[in-house]
Amino acid sequence: MKLKNEHLLVAGSWTGALKPPESIPDRADVVIVGGGIVGVSTAWFLARQGVDVVLCEKGYIAGEQSGRNWGWVRQQGRDPREMPMMIESMRIFRELEAEIGEDIGFTQGGCLFVANNEKELEEQHDWVESTKEYELDTRVIDPKELAQLVTGATPPWLGAMYTASDGRAEPHKTTPAIARAAARSGAKILTSCAVRGIESSGGRVSSVVTEHGTIQTSTVLCAAGAWTSTFCRSMDIQVPQLRVRGTVARTAPAEKLLDGCLFDNRLGIRRRDDGGYTVAHGSILDHGITPSTLRYAFKFLPALKKEFKVLRLRFGKDFFDELAMPTQWSLDEQTPFEKLRVLNPAPSKRVLRKIRKNLDAVLPQMANVDIVEAWAGMVETSPDVVPIIGEVGEVAGFHIATGFSGHGFGIGPGAGKALAAMVTGADSAIDLTPFCLSRFFDGSPIRPMTAI
Ligand SMILES: Cc1cc2nc3c(=O)[nH]c(=O)nc-3n(C[C@H](O)[C@H](O)[C@H](O)COP(=O)(O)OP(=O)(O)OC[C@H]3O[C@@H](n4cnc5c(N)ncnc54)[C@H](O)[C@@H]3O)c2cc1C
């Protein structure tokens, strides 16, 4: 599909000159690996408490998942384990623009999961019932109310799950704005600064080795998104994690047909703050089979079964690229993190054609509206599609926060608040034990409750 009037509003997050640090600090209380929404939110909360924190990002802030996502900030449809953190995240989002003094395009425009059949409707009623204790405003609405929320949609939907308080924000604005707020509060945010590995002494983290030098510290948070498993493997820690490619597009400004987010099995669509829409296919996940797919196949079997209909498996370049990637390295030489600074998969042309077709079929008023930008992102996921959080491995002081799957943008600020408490040993109102890595190795059943 030929894109008219193409320009890089979203992709501006991962293009342009890289800015390596002029110098790096000798020491810090906490070092964070990764400048996605999870890393920068944690840095922001730590810095506001007066903790001396350094964040190292190998490429650009929000250069990977956090700048490429759909921008949905939703509570509905989540695994119940995520609910307390997500409710806190929504509270933070509501106040974020005022707190940081920057526009992130946040609006509580509502979220709709439409039902195409009775089974989907029943599942929606079940979800609402199972999360009653959280007192959300989620309801299952009928086609008449749905038609009032979405102008001119053609499918004969039976109803929808609807949460009026759910929201949206612009990914290309949000994470960089939180990073700037963290810096204003005293965090040191270093870009183009890959962390090569960790050194330890007496069974505890003693320093972080970056491509630009070493930072003494006793506490590390690895929030490295799709790279966490690779990073941990170099420390002999197994983190089951796989990647799926999602293709996304942005339209030119158009008539207001809905104010928030809508998910149909053919289409995911969100109103943007510039009057356009962010659109994607509702049910295509591209997974390039890699050695990790084989290594973790058994653990991912329940998720693969659940997503079987929407998964498009490919065997080819991804397999050989990962096979050729070293799993261990010396800290004084270039690592995979510097060789591939930005994970920048190409959008699938086939999926883009389907997005165009489905958009026009579901919302015919969009037929004359151009798609002006397209991109793709690698969603990283855990076997039960819920994050992996905690101190891991043999070396005390090394923590991870990863596996946020296709819903980590909305929960990111809430995760950052809980992670800041975790790494400083403070009390957090949010229980992180359901997210421990050991759940994948201690024989606990692996049950994905939601989609990737
Ligand atoms: C197409 C798509 C659509 C999505 N839609 C939504 C949505 O609508 N709503 C939602 O809530 N979520 C959504 N998500 C998921 C969400 O984007 C992610 O869960 C979230 O952004 C993860 O944030 P993160 O900080 O953990 O990881 P990332 O944003 O991936 O950040 C990790 C960072 O670590 C850096 N890094 C890695 N290794 C190193 C190293 N060794 N040294 C230094 N830096 C390193 C990387 O460069 C990267 O910038 C979507 C994701 C995608 C891809």
- What mean pLDDT is predicted for residues 224-231? 98
Pairing of strands 53-56, 188-190: parallel
Q: What is the pTM of this model?
A: 0.97
The answer to whether the CB of 347 is under 6 A from ligand 1 is no
The answer to whether the CB of 408 is under 6 A from ligand 1 is yes
Tell me which residue of 26, 18, 20, 19 sits closest to 213, measured CA to CA: 26
Q: Tell me the pLDDT of the chain averaged across its residues.
A: 96
Distance from residue 37's CA to the centre of ligand 1 (Å): 7
C-alpha–C-alpha distance, residues 374 and 393, integer Å: 39
Quick: pLDDT tens for 331-385: 999 999 999 999 999 999 999 999 999 999 999 999 999 999 999 999 999 999 9
Q: Which domains does the chain have, with CATH numbers?
A: 11-440 (3.50.50.60)
Beta strands (DSSP E) in 309-451 are: 311-314, 371-381, 388-391, 398-402
C-alpha–C-alpha distance, residues 373 and 6, integer Å: 5
Most informative mutation of 66, 76, 419 for ligand 1 (most atoms within 8 A of CB): 66
The answer to whether the CB of 260 is under 6 A from ligand 1 is no
**Residue 45 DSSP SS3:** helix
CB 431 within 8 A of CB 227: no
Most informative mutation of 13, 19, 56, 64 for ligand 1 (most atoms within 8 A of CB): 64
Residue 266 has pLDDT above 60, yes or no: yes
Quick: pLDDT tens for 391-440: 999 999 999 999 999 999 999 999 999 999 999 999 888 999 999 999 99
Tell me which residue of 231, 281, 262, 1 sits closest to 113, measured CA to CA: 262
Q: Crossing angle, helix 37-48 and helix 408-424, to 10 degrees?
A: 40
Residue 5 has pLDDT above 60, yes or no: no
Amino acid at 155: P
Amino acid at 58: K
